[in-house]
Amino acid sequence: MNIIDLARPNIVKLQPYSSARSENSSGILLDANENSIGSVVENYPVDDLNRYPDPNQKAVRIKLGEYLNLPYENLYCGVGSDEIIDLLIRIFCEPGRDNAIIVEPTYGMYKVACDINDAAVKSVNLSDDFQIDVPKTLSSADANSKLMFLCSPNNPTGNLLNKEDILSLVRGFNGIVAVDEAYIEFNEKGSVINEVLNYPNLVVLRTFSKAWGLAGARCGYLAADESVISLIFKIKAPYNLNRLTSGIIIEALDKKEKKEIFVSMINLEKERIIEKMASLKGIEKIFTSDANFILFRCSNSDNVYKYLLEKGIVIRDRSSHPMLKGCLRMSVGTRHENDLFLTALWRALCEIS
Ligand SMILES: Cc1ncc(COP(=O)(O)O)c(C=O)c1O
């Protein structure tokens, strides 16, 4: 498959902005209208805040490549994975003409980003066990379907999608299949990231916002064929990855053992919460979770949600999503927070149902 043929012709033709730091990054730098004297904020953990960051994100991509065992040429860092979702739509979907396939229920930003970019959405429901219905999904595509978003583990259902189903879509779809692995660290065996070297139309998104505990730093990344990465670099904002964030990400990648400890702690807590919840009257179903959150269905979910909110416990009401009537989603918190949640949930179910 020729990726360039899938991209919008104006993007293929685009002459990208040539930023000062992409042309030169050393010497007497009088080219970018920076403040050469210094920055008003000094002694911050990162130096040279008066200078623009590297537009090619070279140091971070190389470090990330070592962590993932992928060439850095196959990687791009975005301002969260939300930025990458938007960039993919802007590259591949001609506004007012093309569409993206979204497999529901899933993360809401795919649709919002399509709406922003005037790309139509073709929604296909997952099967009853929240897996992909491969024939139905493939047959929803038409000549203008350029992108497909899959989320594994899926938010808000929590489960991994079957790898073989994902790869069947990659082989059968004449467009880009974007697999969002925001929660993959909680069950890494389900990842398809290494397959990006085998399939040019498979792209995998990940983030430092979840397992790594860096939601505030805003960094997500894309692993993809070099042709897709080149298109992304053509249209991204010149200096999207700031010096503070890249410094933090490089440090984080030296601390992957700590991330693994967080993952084990969260997974253990998740099992404990599921076990306790299973014994509560009024809990109708707890869905399998390969992520750091739990989706459950309960009686009177509207009122349970409101009751918890009144007690200061904020979870997500997902009951308006397709297939999720009566469903709420809680993120695994600290042990103390989880205990407060369980107690309040027990009270809510006793008082309301
Ligand atoms: C599935 C999924 N993808 C992407 C994101 C956004 O991640 P980021 O913080 O990297 O923008 C989220 C955030 O909740 C998510 O659930």
Q: Which fold has domain 3-254?
A: Aspartate Aminotransferase; domain 2 (3.40.640)
57: tokens are 């994100």
3-state helix, strand, coil in the chain (%, to 5): 40, 15, 40
**Confidence bin at 353 (pLDDT 50/70/90):** low
Alpha-carbon distances of 133 from 53, 140, 219, 307, 337, rounded to whole Å = 44, 11, 32, 36, 37
- Report strand pairing: 202-207 vs 220-223: antiparallel
Between 338 and 46, the higher pLDDT residue: 338
Which ligand 1 atom sits nearest the alpha carbon of residue 220?
Answer: 10
The interaxial angle of helices 335-352 and 301-310, nearest 10 deg, is: 130
- Homologous superfamily, domain 257-352: Aspartate Aminotransferase, domain 1 (3.90.1150.10)
**Three-state SS for 41?**
coil
- Does position 287 have pLDDT exceeding 80, yes or no? yes
Task: Provide the whole-model pTM.
Answer: 0.97
- Mean pLDDT taken over the chain: 97
For ligand 1, the distance from its centroid to the CA atom of residue 210, given in whole angstroms, is 8
**Confidence bin at 1 (pLDDT 50/70/90):** confident
**Confidence bin at 43 (pLDDT 50/70/90):** confident
| pLDDT the model gives residue 44 | 82
CA 172 to chain centre: 23
Structural domain spans, the chain: 3-254, 257-352
Which ligand 1 atom sits nearest the alpha carbon of residue 106?
Answer: 1
| pLDDT the model gives residue 157 | 98
For ligand 1, the distance from its centroid to the CA atom of residue 37, given in whole angstroms, is 38
Q: What is the mean pLDDT of residues 297-306?
A: 96
